[in-house]
Structure 1
Amino acid sequence: MKTINDIISSIEFDEWMMEVLRAAQSLNLPDWWICAGFVRSKIWDTLHGIQPRTPMSDVDLIYFDSAILDEEMEKEYENQLEQIFSDVPWSVKNQARMHLVNQIPPYASSVDAISKFPETVTALGVKLNDNGQVLLSAPHGIDDVLNMEVKPTSYFLEKEERVAIYKKRIKEKKWSLTWNNVKILY
């Protein structure tokens, strides 16, 4: 696995991932992406030869809808997804309201939100276009995730309190216990 096309192909050949993506697409949410561990874990599992896949605590589906900021709508979407695909631990979040939760300036889009995730290796998203093809968003590129080098996004380096959040997450995630070639660089 060396390129964006390699990542996309590995997802396209993973029937479970494609079913998850199709379930998410069926909601017709604006500016939706499945992100973070869903993509990172696939890449790291592949690079480590891990099968079956590493269990996920959740599948993060994000979208951007500034017209409806009610958190209850997110729960409704989770319920709808559970009806479609019940064995997936869905987590649905409207990025148009997450700035209120995180007490930061508003995001401009879902990709803007992804770019401000704590780690470059987590700042990844995938979705299906109207033709059912996989699209990948990688605002910080793919080098870090492919090289298994964990570092904060530039956004998380801007303020000490964000650096502290990043460092706490790294301690809690313990990624190198699952993927032994992962290197924490910051």
Structure 2
Amino acid sequence: MMEIIEAASILKLPEWWICAGFVRSKIWDTLHGFTERTSTPDIDVIYFDDTHIDEAFEKKLEDKLSSLLPNIPWSVKNEARMHMVNNLQPYTSAEDAISKFPETATALGVKLDRENNLVLTAPYGLDDVINMELKPTPYFTETKERAAIYEERITKKNWKDIWYKIKVHHI
């Protein structure tokens, strides 16, 4: 994991984080006693730069990361433009975007600070991920449409089949 975090730090992106399943899955793997890490479909690197919202630039960043670690499925997204993709109100920062992820246990991010210290953001704390509880973030309980997205993700992701100890909360 540190090799991946260090590679992402080389980009020196504003307000960057590696987030979501990269963090959650490692915690759940450990709590389940797995000796091998479960595979993740991608490594989500997010950042916030409202002065440069070109999607093609994100692809160049993915290419740069792939040149460093070619076997990693990189996904780089500028959260300053993702509200347009997701048809939402603009995010104010990368951490604001993380706080609007569907599940509290997924609303996590890690990065290295300027002194190379590992930093964690967890807008809803760590209790849910450590207690293996899958709950919607408050943002996904505000409307029926968002609640439906949360419920669809539970079905589509099928996390319970991978991590059998998790407790899934429905809206």
Same fold (TM over 0.5): yes
Who is 2:33 aligned against? 49
Who is 2:23 aligned against? 39
Q: Give the counterpart of 1:107 among 73, 80, 91.
A: 91
Please say if 1:82 is aligned against 2:48: no
How far apart are 1:52 and its partner, in Å? 1.2
How far apart are 1:41 and its partner, in Å? 0.4
Aligned equivalents of 2:113 and 2:71: distance in 1? 24
After superposition, what is the alpha-carbon deviation per residue over 1:105-149, rounded to whole angstroms, capped at 9, x for unaligned?
100100000000000010000000112111000001110000111
Aligned equivalents of 2:116 and 2:165: distance in 1? 33
In structure 1, stretches of 5+ residues that fail to align are 1-16
How far apart are 1:51 and its partner, in Å? 1.5
Who is 2:152 aligned against? 168
Who is 2:135 aligned against? 151
Q: Give the counterpart of 1:91 among 72, 75, 79.
A: 75
Please, what is the CA RMSD of the aligned residues? 0.6
After superposition, what is the alpha-carbon deviation per residue over 1:66-117, rounded to whole angstroms, capped at 9, x for unaligned?
0111100110000000000111100000000011111111001000000000
Aligned equivalents of 1:28 and 1:96: distance in 2? 16
Aligned equivalents of 2:37 and 2:117: distance in 1? 22
In structure 2, stretches of 5+ residues that fail to align are none
**TM-score, normalization: structure 2?**
0.98
Q: Which runs of 4+ in 1 moved over 4 A?
A: none
After superposition, what is the alpha-carbon deviation per residue over 1:133-177, rounded to whole angstroms, capped at 9, x for unaligned?
110000011100001111100000001100011100000111111
Give the number of equivalent residue pairs. 170
Who is 2:42 aligned against? 58
**Percent identical residues:** 58
Who is 2:125 aligned against? 141
Q: SS of the counterpart of 2:80?
A: coil
Who is 2:110 aligned against? 126
